[in-house]
Chain A
Amino acid sequence: MFNFVLRRLLIAIPSLLGISAILYCILAVAPGDPFGDLATNPAVPAEVIASLRAKFGLDDPPWLRYAHWLLAMFQGDWGYSFVSRVEVGHLILQRLPTTLFVVGISQVLAMAVALPVGVYAAVRPYSLFDHLASAMAFVGFSLPTFFTGVLLIMLFSIQLGWLPLVYQADLPETGWAWFAAQIRQSLMPIMVLALFQCASWTRYIRSAVLDVAYLDYVTTARAKGLGEFKVVLRHIVRNSLIPVITLVALQIPAIFGGAIVTEQIFRVPGIGSLLISSILANDTPVVMAVTFVFACLVVGFNILADLAYGWVDPRIKND
């Protein structure tokens, strides 16, 4: 098992390198000097430009520039934001927890609903429940996240006035009131993200369970006298989890993408909205760093998923 973990970690490193290489290539190929308009921007002090140029080694050969940049990235030296003059690392750390909070809770919620619904629909295929669940899942998954967000705002903020439109990082309340206010303001972004993933996962779980439900070993389990519930739980679901984990892993990049959208709509101060605002403001170091962070998140979660897969499927573990 330890070997397996080690191997996975080792594979992740070339992936990160590859991603960073691609990222760097894109920037290198981009027309114009990335710091061109910086030079003309009176707000940026000369020493910042100089250190940036040095760090990016703009006059060095490309591979050297890349190596420098990579080294700097891994050392945590991500430079300074053009716009706010705050250290980029600091900016990101400020915003990252919010994003992780919203994304994390929404996904847990999504799975908590998708799993039982998907399993039950598959165990009673073509029943009323199944038809309803499948139809709702279908609609949910065809609704783009930004539309859902807009609809929710229209309903809950404008029509009903229950939930606030804008997310505030610093809530004036304290103690329980703060907690309640926090829930109120995060509810909509969480719901938007959760809804979409839940719909997508319900469909997939249903399909994965259906694939397993008619296999021979399920009949064997019944033949042992196990009650239907136990059969479903211990035998069917356990085996369907394997492809589901793969799917979850593959969708992690998209989930973070979705978070960007929700952060924009609800003005949640996470790294997604940081990315957008820095793009619109031509704040290159921040853009680079945030994209890199996204890439690390994705690779990290993929490793987790791989590990989970290895833990769940003994055929992998023992090879």
Chain B
Amino acid sequence: MTGVETSKTPAVLSIQDLRVHFRTDGAMVRSVDGVSLEVSAGETVCIVGESGSGKTVTAHSVMRLIPTPPGRFVGGRILWKGEDVVQMSAARLGRMRAKEVGIIFQEPMTSLNPVYTVGDQIAESVCLHEGVSKRIGLNRAVEMLELVRIPNARRRISEYPHQFSGGMRQRVMIAMALACRPQLLIADEPTTALDVTIQSQILELLQDLKAQMGMALLLITHAMGVVAEMAQRVVVMYAGRVVEEGSVEQVFANPQHPYTRGLIRCIPRIDGTAGSKLHLPTIAGVVPNLALAQEGCGYAGRCTSASAVCRTVVPNLIAHEPGHRAACVLVESGAGHIAAAPKF
């Protein structure tokens, strides 16, 4: 069920109705409950949602980095250039990771192995995938560090992670992920753990690298501001499902799903036009407990426009306009179309 497609370039990544569940003490948590999305070559797609929406699990699933004792792929497919990642052999998966798809994580402080030098860690993936000697691997490490704008690269490849600051470590992670020139980079909240000035540097670096290397970028975030800055297309997730998707202009100009609208309204504005000058707007309520089966729309509990049908029927993704879909009964009925959201 691919729905309406507006991108002209072929999709390199196609997630189709993915379902990933986790077995915890007693309960089965439905982290990802039917997610479909596509990324085309060279495109930047942002997945946005709050904690618990399933965005990280979706991202990690692309490279099958979900630990499978507690996690289980219950349904759906993840097609990377036509091959289903879920069914891939371990050998093929090993060749795909880092060589075709790279990933950087949220916590640069703990994502690097403390007992190996930075150079060794970058060279490790180069040597593995390209079968070259350690010396060549280290040379590539130097190149990559220079690419991510770390000064004194040649000296720094012999240093250990604890000798780098947080922002620098994230750059090292980026260098490591891109060392084998993958076609897709997955960035799981890469700036959440960094302070604001570093954040913008990292995001800018990602933009430049993407342009330089012509790769696609799947960016996970919970900040709408980051989405506005980086994305070409947006996928909004809530409680394990996609609730809205479209180009960034479409979604920001005309958010269809009440949740998306809520998110946009929550962006703090310096002129206070989004709400009163004294209170930051919020979305009331909390994410539903994903261990319990969801009846109806997952957002119904917090939605100000919810009706009786919302609690019984799971809404499908309906196109509001070409390339822009939302999973809400209001879109279906056409009653959800409200005039423009706040301008930026």
Contacts and interface: CB of A to CB of B under 8 A. Distances in A.
Interface string A219-235: 11111111110000001
A126 B67 CA distance: 14
Interface residues of B, number: 33
Nearest to B122: A224
Nearest to A126: B69
Given A224-B124, A314-B160, A216 B98 contact: no
B114 A315 contact: yes
Nearest to A318: B160
A314 B111 contact: no
Nearest to B66: A219
A228 B113 CA distance: 16
B110 A224 contact: no
A223 B90 contact: no
Contacts of A227: 90, 94
B63 interface: yes
B106 to A, nearest CB: 9
A313 interface: yes
Contacts of A313: 114-115
Contact of B94 (A125, A215, A216, A226): A226
For chain A, what secondary structure do more than half of its interface residues adopt (helix, strand, loop), or is it mixed?
helix
B112 A224 contact: no
B211 interface: no
Contacts of A215: 110
A309 B163 CA distance: 19
Contact of B111 (A216, A226, A242): A216
B128 A223 contact: no
B99 A225 contact: yes
B96 A225 contact: yes
Given A220-B105, A315-B162, A226 B124 contact: yes
Given A222-B97, A225-B96, 10 more contacts: A215-B110, A216-B110, A219-B65, A225-B94, A226-B94, A226-B125, A226-B128, A238-B115, A314-B115, A315-B160
10 contacts: A126-B69, A220-B113, A221-B113, A223-B177, A225-B93, A225-B125, A226-B124, A227-B94, A314-B160, A318-B163
